Structures are given as structure tokens and as C-alpha cells.
Copies of this chain bind each other. A is one copy, B any other.
Amino acid sequence: MNPETIIIGLTMFILACFAGAELISKVPPTLHTPLMSGSNAISGIAILGALLATGHPESFNSISVIGFLAVILATINVVGGYLVTHRMLQMFKK
């Protein structure tokens, strides 16, 4: 990993932090719980890492077991997160 990639990563990190904080600050208190669970679902993006770990060419070793677990957990996070958010938002219909 060369310094340039690190700097680019940092840049994105900072930009995303700004965007995230500013976006959140406009959410009204009533929507804080759905927001929490919605952003929680997003954090399931770790699934990408899990997929990459599990899909490694060499089949079935400790890595793929760990990866497998990671995929399950991340999927729970993603699926559960979105569904829970959706259910909460259902209650907001007028």
C-alpha cells in the first residue's frame, strides 16, 4: 500500500465524514431510531470484505471458515437492518 493510496483513502474518509455529519444533522428527532438502524444496515458493507475473504481461490481452509462466518454475520446485519428500518418507517405513514 503506497502513500498515495493512503492519502486518497484519507481524503475520501474526511469528505465522507463531512457529508455524513451534515446529512445526519438535518434528521428530525422522530426519525433518529430509523436512522440509527438504517445506517447500521449500511455498515453491513463489511460483507464485501467477507465475500472477498470467503471467495478466495484456495478452497476450504481456516480463512474460508472465518470468511463464511463473516458472511453470515454481515448478511444478518444487512438484511435485518434494512427490514427493521422498513418496519419502523411503516409506522410513519399518514
**Residues of A in contact with B (beta carbons under 8 Å apart):** 8, 11-12, 15-16, 18-19, 22-23, 25-26
Contact = CB atoms under 8 A, between A and B. Distances in A.
Number of copies of this chain in the oligomer? 2
Contacts of A22: 18-19, 22-23, 26
Contact of A19 (B8, B15, B25): B15
17 contacts: A8-B8, A11-B12, A12-B12, A12-B15, A15-B15, A15-B16, A15-B19, A18-B19, A18-B22, A18-B23, A19-B19, A19-B22, A22-B22, A22-B23, A22-B26, A25-B26, A26-B26
Nearest to A18: B19
Contacts of A8: 8
